Amino acid sequence: MRLSPDQTTELAEMLHVMGDANRLRILLVCLDEERAVGAIADELSLAPSLVSHHLRLLRAARLVRARKQGKQVFYLAADDHVRSVIGDLVAHVAEPPESDHTHDDHRGGAD
Amino acid sequence: MRLSPDQTTELAEMLHVMGDANRLRILLVCLDEERAVGAIADELSLAPSLVSHHLRLLRAARLVRARKQGKQVFYLAADDHVRSVIGDLVAHVAEPPESDHTHDDHRGGAD
DNA sequence: AATACATTTGAACACCTGTTCATATATCAT
DNA sequence: ATGATATATGAACAGGTGTTCAAATGTATT
């Protein structure tokens, strides 16, 4: 199954936005239930300003949607499509690692 | 389904490595069949040096494995786990943008 | 109107990242 | 041995990125 160059770029951009720890945490927090910016900041112990900055990128990537209510703005995963993708990812990470290692490659020195 | 802080960081790092267009292309090229560095570089029109650099990151993230044969080094997706994750992502991106929404809630004011 | 609260915005900073180039290492052939 | 091929490595540069701070915007309450 192959992707077009455009689709590959699109996927890379999506992964790039999700590939930040704080942004991923924010996305996970408002994946299934609406969350206000302040609530997210409070739960993750992050500055509201920082959360807002990340939320803007998540919104630009169409990963979350915003709903304004009074003074607060509630964020939620954009749609079931996003929830499904994240769900798959989370499921794979939550799974135990494979034990089908025929041979172990040498430790790569990541600097 | 929630992840531990460590698992969340781990996932973010994995997404971060995949979140580069060239790196993702490289990963896709050697997802199901072994590919030598030169072959990847040739197919993607990238400098072998650049491919090697990216391959090192992919290897450090345990996303690909290397098998040396003579002068060439063949790379392949690390395991079925990785193939499954990438497969899911590709499938989601390859899907048509509209899915069967039984109820269409949250109308977005995205800029 | 003024105050307090929630969120956003922009600038500034330090840090990281992708790429290129030159060079090194390894392997095969002559 | 030399030379050619394949890959890896390191330095260096340009540009991007996350974070913080201060200030702005919007919104409800008094």
Q: Where are the domains of chain A?
A: 5-93
CB pairs under 8 A between A and B: 132
| A38 or B106, higher pLDDT | A38
Check pLDDT > 90 for residue A100: no
pLDDT of residue B39: 98
* Stretch A61-87: mean pLDDT: 96
Confidence of residue B1 (pLDDT cuts 50, 70, 90): confident
Query: Per the structure block, which two tokens stand in for B70?
Result: 């003579």
Check pLDDT > 60 for residue A91: yes
Render pLDDT for B43-72 as a digit per residue (tens, 0 to 9).
999 999 999 999 999 999 999 999 999 999
Estimate in Å the CA B111 to C1' D23 gap, whole number: 23
pLDDT of residue B109: 36
> CA A11 to CA A30: how far, in whole Å?
21
Flag whether residue A32 sits within 8 Å of chain B, measured between CB atoms: no
Amino acid at B67: R
Mutate to test the interface with A, among B4, B6, B8 (most CBs of A within 10 A): B8
Name the residue of chain A whose CA is nearest to B15's CA: A19
pLDDT of residue B111: 38
Confidence of residue A2 (pLDDT cuts 50, 70, 90): confident
CATH 1.10.10.10 fits B5-94, yes or no: yes
Give the mean pLDDT of chain B.
89
> Which has the closest alpha carbon to A110: B13, B91, B35, B101?
B13
Render pLDDT for B64-111 as a digit per residue (tens, 0 to 9).
999 999 999 999 999 999 999 999 999 999 886 665 555 444 443 333
Mutate to test the interface with A, among B9, B89, B95 (most CBs of A within 10 A): B89
Render pLDDT for B12-33 as a digit per residue (tens, 0 to 9).
999 999 999 999 999 999 999 9
Flag whether residue A95 sits within 8 Å of chain B, measured between CB atoms: yes
> Which has the closest alpha carbon to B9: A15, A14, A93, A61?
A93
Residue tagged 């600097």 (tokens): A111
Rounded percentage of chain B residues whose pLDDT exceeds 70:
86
What residues of chain A lie within 8 A of the CB of B81, using their CB? 92, 95, 97-98
> CA B38 to CA A73: how far, in whole Å?
50
Q: Report the CATH fold assignment for A5-93.
A: Arc Repressor Mutant, subunit A (1.10.10)
